[in-house]
Amino acid sequence: MKKVMIALCVAAFAMSASAFVLGPGDGSDEPGFVAPKMGAPPPPPPSHIASGETYIPYPGPPAAPQARSEKKNPPNPPVMFTKLKSNRGLVDWAARPDDLNNLLKSMKGMMDVNFACEAKSLAEISTDPEKNPILYRSGHFHFELSPAERKALREYLLNGGMIIFNAGMGSKPFYDSAIKELQGMFPEQPVTRLSSDHPIFHSYYDVNQVTYRKGVREAGYAGNAPWLDGVTINCRTVAIVSRWGLDVGWDAVEDESMRAYSVESAQKLGVNIMSYATSQRAWAKQLAQNMQFVSDDKTLSGKMSIVQVIYDGEWKTRHKSLSMLLHQFNRRTDVPVQFNLKELRLSDPGIFNAPLLYITGHEEFTLSDAEVKNLRDYLQKGGTLFAEACCGRRGFDQAFRREMRKVLPDQNLAPMGEGEMIFAMPNKITALGVTPPLSAQSGNASAIKPRLESISINGHVNVIYSPFALGGGWEVSQNPYGLGYDNNGALALGENILMYAITQ
């Protein structure tokens, strides 16, 4: 019976492999399409299943009752990856049937970890990430999810799950579809290319540079940095899209003509993705629930508007940090201020009605000429801009410094001294506790002097900038990869910044 099943599997696989056109609109006639080179079907599982050897993309034989005298198999390793099936045949979703198996085998040798994978349709996926921690969808053709699938996948990702979209051998129609689907799934967050200091490139191995095959160069890409795009929600990247093929690298195929990473680079990226997803899923469990603080106390005599700046890029890294900071500020101080939160572009004239603007992010961004001019006018008229590099990320830091040189070309960000009032009210601050990553970067110090930089115009501090993370502390949930102040320190410094901004 087993031989018959294997023969049927191989025959079905060969039949699928012969057809590289799925139908109208599949992208097979578009520039950048790469036809699949079908891999061999995975071998039948041995009696003792090891890591990466539980993936069978075909129905298995019916289970036979086990006699008491038969040898018992050890427990199966936990499932880490779930490969997503489509209803368009193996050529659509399993051109490399054994890619995850072989990645997990490599992981066992590289990290001494033992995990398994499985194959399911999206309809079979649980929205509880504990049951299917990392989803993987690979392909070469255009694809489209249904509204119900998008809704379920969004819920799964927000619950702590992660999905990898892999453009098989760098096939562009699949890549384009993955970007489009994520943009539709998360209209509130852009899909952006992950910069070199993203934790996913350093969670296990440091992968600043990778080795690409000649096929990538022939396709016109000359860079050496890994190319992953992603959607980041509340400082956690929930979905990634690989522009170049990871699958053939995981499958250990040596073919320089393929538009893919080298075997070593692909395997290291796979290890990092697994490490990052595991850490972030554990952290996501600890995130506080969304909270909205709206004061209806009519005795409050004042009103302060904080405007969070919208820009082209990942402008909203935390969804409730400002609300929680302002709630704490009202609760822990005697300042009778009623707060009001708005989200505006710098080109909006409404910013001139707010005494304080707040801008944050992880990645690179650029302001338009109109935004630069409006921000300059706002600051010169006495407004205050408060900026924070979320998670202490270098991409935002470099972009913010560059954009401020455009806004105020005759001014430079300068460190604020220890004697500044911003460190005295309402909290006396001489040192702040730090997150473990910032501690490691600071010689394993458990606390450091607070670091803020500023720009003054006519003796008035108009720009306040923290190169280290605060928002995670305001939410009492710092990202495990974040370079920032601890929860108490972030709240204390945030309160002082608010007090300083409204009392100058």
- Is there a common fold for 2-63+74-284 and 302-503? yes
Q: How much is the pLDDT for 108? A: 85
Of 230, 239, 273, 260, residue with least CA distance to 36: 260
* Distance of alpha carbon 246 from alpha carbon 138, whole angstroms: 9
pLDDT tens string, the chain, 504 residues long: the values are 334 334 434 444 444 444 567 888 999 999 999 999 887 666 555 444 444 444 433 333 344 444 444 555 556 778 889 999 999 999 999 999 999 999 999 888 887 878 889 999 999 999 999 899 999 999 999 999 999 999 999 999 999 899 999 999 999 999 999 999 999 999 989 999 999 999 999 999 999 999 999 999 999 999 999 999 999 998 899 999 999 999 999 999 999 999 999 999 999 999 999 989 888 876 766 553 433 333 344 443 456 678 999 999 889 888 788 888 887 777 767 665 566 788 999 999 999 988 899 999 999 999 999 999 999 999 999 999 999 999 999 999 999 999 999 999 999 999 998 888 899 888 899 999 999 999 999 999 999 999 999 999 988 899 999 999 999 888 888 888 999 999 999 999 998 898 888 777
Q: Which amino acid is at 311?
A: Y
Q: What residue ranges do the domains of the chain occupy?
A: 2-63+74-284, 302-503
Residue 193 phi/psi, 5-degree rounding, is -75, 135
How confident is the model at residue 41, as a pLDDT? 67
CATH architecture under which domain 302-503 falls: 3-Layer(aba) Sandwich (3.40)
Task: Report the first-to-last Cα separation within the chain, whole angstroms.
Answer: 83
What distance in Å separates the CA atoms of residue 79 and residue 221, rounded to the nearest whole number?
Answer: 35
pLDDT at 418: 84
Three-class SS state of 136? strand
Q: Residue 401: its pLDDT value, please?
A: 97
Out of 3.40.50.11540, 3.30.420.40, 3.40.50.12140, 3.40.50.2030, the CATH code matching 2-63+74-284 is 3.40.50.12140
